[in-house]
Amino acid sequence: MIDLRSDTMTKPTPGMLKAMMSAEVGDDVFGEDPTVNELEARTAALFGMEAALYCPTGTMSNQVAIKAHTRPGDEVICDQSAHVYQYEGGGIAFHSGAQVKLLPGDLGRIDAAQIAAAINPDDLHKARTSLVCLENTSNRGGGSCYEIEAIKSIRALCDEKGLSLHLDGARLFNALVATGEKPASFGQLFHSISVCLNKGLGCPIGSVLLGTGAFIRQARRVRKVFGGGMRQAGYMAAAGLYALDNHIERLADDHRHAKQIAAALKKTDYIAGALPVETNIIIAEIKAPWQPAQISAKLKERNILALPISPTQIRMVLHLGVTDEMVERLEKELPALVD
């Protein structure tokens, strides 16, 4: 089976499992899990940020950040396709009592001029704009990456207007590997960053929220309120440490595989086109009269799993469970799928 539905489909590698099984643990709510403490300290240092908080999911990490940055009745600005708005169960309203202003970005990327025009004036009729959320890479943008200069302009605007800037960096390591930017450049530009360990980095669970010491102290309270205070979480955090050591550089393989598969898809009769492939995600447009569900059924007959994500699109995501040999098989089988 070649499972391309999501980069969450990974299972721990033997090396990762070994690291997990031999982790030193303690009660993390008491601050006594040495492995969680090490993961938090190392991730914070990597991004040049003061502190970090280990969370079970990226959704919790984003929502904890939004709660810690806002007050009820505030307004949050993000792209219309943002995960924090589309795929977190209405969490911004549910947890933070905040409302959202959606912007039509370019493949999930919004710019400073759009944001400037969307910030509410200081007027008692209006919601108080307090937070901007960016997503890098953008999931629904097909794994698109921000230019660092664009983020610098956004941060300058946020400073001028007194707004906080949060990054949903579920796939930030994919962006770093693809663009060659340094983690610390991102650490300087955001008030908070959420990075997922359970996507391309191959951990079973886990995300890390980064910010200032004061912000993370507040976030730690919020995580507890959300039910995310975990005990011997070091068994999971050990997977994160292992991934930081072993699974970052290999993301380049996923990016190469994605380009190879996208090239094979372009030769087929059932694909009309695809979003630009910048990292590990392929979003392809199915050519009528074919339907995404029909194509994914055909793929499944050949033990290939892909996800229909809209009435016209299918998604494939690369990860460490996909080998060179599997990609070679895809290059042969995809063009012959619907003869």
Ligand X SMILES: *Cc1c(COP(=O)(O)O)cnc(C)c1O
Q: Which of 207, 218, 280, 313 binds ligand X (CB under 6 A)?
A: 207
Minimum CB–partner distance for residue 288 and ligand X (Å) = 28
Scanning 53-61, 143-151, 273-281, 313-321 for contacts with ligand X by CB under 6 A, the matching segment is 53-61
Contacts of 103 (CB under 8 A, 6+ apart): 77, 78, 79, 80, 110, 114, 115, 118
Q: Are 192 and 164 in contact (CB under 8 A)?
A: yes
Alpha-carbon dihedral sign for residues 328, 330, 331, 337:
positive
What would the x/- binding string for ligand X be over residues 116 to 145, using CB under 6 A? -------------------x---x------
Q: Which of residues 177-206 bind ligand X (CB under 6 A)?
A: 196, 198-199
Cβ-based nearer residue to ligand X, 57 or 179: 57
Q: Which of 83, 220, 255, 315 binds ligand X (CB under 6 A)?
A: 83
Cβ-based nearer residue to ligand X, 282 or 334: 282
Decide: is 75 part of the binding site for ligand X (CB under 6 A).
no
Q: Which of 5, 29, 32, 57 binds ligand X (CB under 6 A)?
A: 57
Decide: is 74 part of the binding site for ligand X (CB under 6 A).
no
Cβ-based nearer residue to ligand X, 271 or 317: 317
Q: Are 171 and 279 in contact (CB under 8 A)?
A: yes
Nearest to 5 by CA among 199, 138, 177, 171: 199
Rounded to an integer, what distance in angstroms lies between the CA atom of residue 55 and that of residue 202? 16
Strand runs (DSSP E) across the chain, as ranges?
Answer: 2-3, 51-55, 74-79, 99-103, 128-135, 164-169, 192-196, 207-211, 271-274, 281-286, 304-305, 307-308, 313-317
Cβ-based nearer residue to ligand X, 198 or 279: 198
Minimum CB–partner distance for residue 40 and ligand X (Å) = 17
Count of residues in contact with ligand X, rule CB under 6 A? 13
H/E run at residue 145: none
Site residues for ligand X per CB under 6 A = 57-59, 62, 83, 135, 139, 168, 170, 196, 198-199, 207
